[in-house]
Amino acid sequence: MSGLEIRGLRVSFDGFTAVDGVDLDVRPGDLRFLIGPNGAGKTTLVDAVTGLVKAAGSVRFGGEELLGRSVHRIARSGIGRTFQTATVFEELTVLQNLDIAAGSGRSMWTMLRRRKGVPEPVARALETVGLTELADSPAGTLAHGQKQWLEIGMLLVQDVRLLLLDEPVAGMSHDERQATGELLQRISEERTVVVIEHDMDFMRSFARSVSVLHAGKVLSEGTVAEVQADPKVQEVYLGHTSTEVTADVAVQEA
Ligand SMILES: Nc1ncnc2c1ncn2[C@@H]1O[C@H](COP(=O)(O)OP(=O)(O)O)[C@@H](O)[C@H]1O
Ligand SMILES: [Mg+2]
């Protein structure tokens, strides 16, 4: 399994520095949560890693430098992401969405035709994300949470080694969050997972490690307990340092 190693990452938009010299190490198989106030630079960091914005510094995955590569080459290096809004083909079935993501070189016609056999990797992804029963349902009829799971499944069929998920549980019910957290734990047994998240209960339940981003910089890093007890984190969220009880509230409100 490969890890992610970011050094001196910097992204500027017209003189405004959104990511300001970030160093970040995510060990292979980690389930890292990336938290921080709105505008902290979380999405921009993921955009930089996936080649969507120009960045300075270094981003290595499995030892290979990614910065300067095209979006497609980065994707082919085993890196995949989801966006804050789901991007599935609503008219196509769950299975067809996975088939297209798998891009196994079959023609559109072959993929859209009813087939008997489901390719092994697709069947496994369906199972992992819990959508086997819904394989033939149009993606547009899925519940919000199920669409996010389908998107994660689309990364799994591409055998992505590093998943970067931008607020995957936003808008999900409590049960959907729980199921998603368990899914991410299972996935991170074999892959490296970075999750941008706002829901602090969700983070507390499932994060293996946490990085707090603030104004484009890493403010704090460690376990959930370490980050919550960090006076710097408390200050950012409350404007002053305080007891652990208020810190808890502060992080919840982030
Ligand atoms: N394409 C862009 N052009 C100009 N400013 C941007 C662009 N994308 C993001 N920003 C700015 O960069 C900062 C970080 O944004 P973002 O990474 O989306 O934050 P987060 O995901 O942590 O909420 C914000 O101030 C945002 O307005
Ligand atoms: Mg964002």
Tell whether ligand 1 has an atom less than 6 A from the beta carbon of residue 39: yes
Distance from C-alpha of 88 to C-alpha of 220, rounded to nearest angstrom: 34
pLDDT greater than 70 at residue 169: yes
Sorting pLDDT into bands at 50, 70 and 90, what band is 244?
Answer: very low
113 contacts: CB under 8 Å, gap ≥ 6? none
- Give me the mean pLDDT over the 144-162 stretch: 95
pLDDT digits (tens, 9 = 90+) for 188-206: 999 999 999 978 889 999 9
pLDDT greater than 80 at residue 62: yes
Distance from C-alpha of 120 to C-alpha of 237, rounded to nearest angstrom: 46
Q: Which residue type sits at 29?
A: G
- Look at residue 118 in the predicted model and tell me its pLDDT: 83
What integer best gives the mean pLDDT of the chain? 89
Distance from C-alpha of 226 to C-alpha of 210, rounded to nearest angstrom: 9
Q: Report the half-sphere exposure of 185 (CA within 13 A, side-chain side).
A: 12
pTM of the model: 0.89
Compute the residue count for the chain: 254
- Look at residue 246 in the predicted model and tell me its pLDDT: 44
CA–centroid distance, 42 to ligand 1, in Å, is: 8
Radius of gyration of the chain (CA): 19
pLDDT greater than 80 at residue 239: no
Tell whether ligand 1 has an atom less than 6 A from the beta carbon of residue 18: yes
The 8-class DSSP code of residue 121 comes to: H
Among 148-157, 189-198, 229-238, which stretch is predicted with the lowest mean pLDDT?
Answer: 229-238
pLDDT digits (tens, 9 = 90+) for 30-42: 999 999 999 999 9
Is 137 within 8 Å of 193 (Cβ atoms)? no
- Look at residue 69 in the predicted model and tell me its pLDDT: 96
CA–centroid distance, 109 to ligand 2, in Å, is: 37
CA–centroid distance, 44 to ligand 1, in Å, is: 6
Tell whether ligand 1 has an atom less than 6 A from the beta carbon of residue 84: no
- Look at residue 9 in the predicted model and tell me its pLDDT: 98
CA–centroid distance, 216 to ligand 1, in Å, is: 9
CA–centroid distance, 39 to ligand 2, in Å, is: 7
Q: Which residue type sits at 19?
A: V
Tell whether ligand 1 has an atom less than 6 A from the beta carbon of residue 50: no
- Look at residue 247 in the predicted model and tell me its pLDDT: 45
Tell whether ligand 1 has an atom less than 6 A from the beta carbon of residue 49: no
pLDDT digits (tens, 9 = 90+) for 80-139: 999 877 789 999 999 999 999 988 555 555 555 555 678 888 999 999 999 999 999 999
- Residue located nearest, by CA, to atom 18 of ligand 1: 43
Is 124 within 8 Å of 147 (Cβ atoms)? no
- Say which residue, 7 or 249, is predicted with more confidence: 7
